Amino acid sequence: MGLLANLSLVFVAGFITALATGLGALPFFFFEDISDRWNVVLWGFASGIMLSASLFGLVEEGLAEGTPLEIIAGMAVGVVLVVVAHEVLMDADLDARDYEEADFKKLVLILGILTVHSFPEGVAVGVAFADLNLGTGPAVLGFTVPVLAIFMTVAISIHNVPEGTAIAIPLRAMAVPEWKMVWWAVFSSLPQPVGAVIAFGFVRIARRFLPFGFGFAAGAMIYLVLSEFVPEALDTGADLPRGGRPELLGGVVAGVLLMIPLLFV
């Protein structure tokens, strides 16, 4: 397979993860609202998936390719870049309510902020495809796809569902039509296929940076879980008994338990 074919497959994988975000808006076709308790569980579930994908997938694969120092260096850079990007955009407070009435300039700003949030997840997908058609793995559409690539695509797709729900909730309050809620949820993850293609191209050209790339993706995602997903869950569950912590912990455990079997597929 040529480079263009490989890039196309990686883009499709990243686009699948973006489409999965739209699934988070589908419950609003059938229900008026989603309880805080279930929202906390979903945030915990997403956190468990991302942590297991980062630790059992990216970090473990990185250690097989390089040294612990390379992984740690990559994780540090991943965290720093996410922090710096947040600092640059911190004055641009974004609410999903802004999506519906955004003009072109605001859409550019929104896309920039969403890139900070979802680009690292696309990078994780792209890095996971580094050995596409180079090693062993299941045959998919004539490609030899690494098991890690399938694992990461599934993990991030599942993780994107509660993110789509979080985006849809304020849009529901504005009486935005359900299909538009699905569209804006998918829009929020459009940087992921772009990030996947860029990361894949980079690690294929400069394979000596592959362990660093694994660490970068893992560090960025773990930081996002600890700095955004968990605080969001605790904020949502503030009025629940014990602050929603049992629901959060239950969601995290469920997410980890769901992803561990995929490591042995």
pLDDT of residue 153: 92
pLDDT of residue 56: 85
Whether 201 and 7 have beta carbons less than 8 Å apart is answered as: yes
CA 46 to chain centre: 9
Tens-digit pLDDT string for the chain (265 aa): 577 889 999 999 999 999 999 998 898 888 777 788 888 998 899 899 889 888 888 898 889 888 999 999 999 998 998 888 777 665 555 666 666 666 656 556 666 666 667 788 899 999 999 888 887 778 877 888 988 888 889 889 988 888 888 788 877 877 788 888 898 889 888 889 999 999 999 888 888 888 999 999 899 889 988 888 898 889 988 888 888 899 999 999 998 888 877 666 5
pLDDT of residue 27: 86
| Residues contacting 9, CB < 8 A, separation 6+ | 129, 132, 140, 141, 143, 145
What is the Cα–Cα distance from 188 to 107, expressed in whole angstroms?
A: 11
- Of 151, 162, 160, nearest to 261 by C-alpha is 151
Which runs of E-coded beta strand occur in the chain? 139-140, 143-144
* Domain count across the chain: 1
- Residue range(s) defining the domain that contains residue 134: 3-264
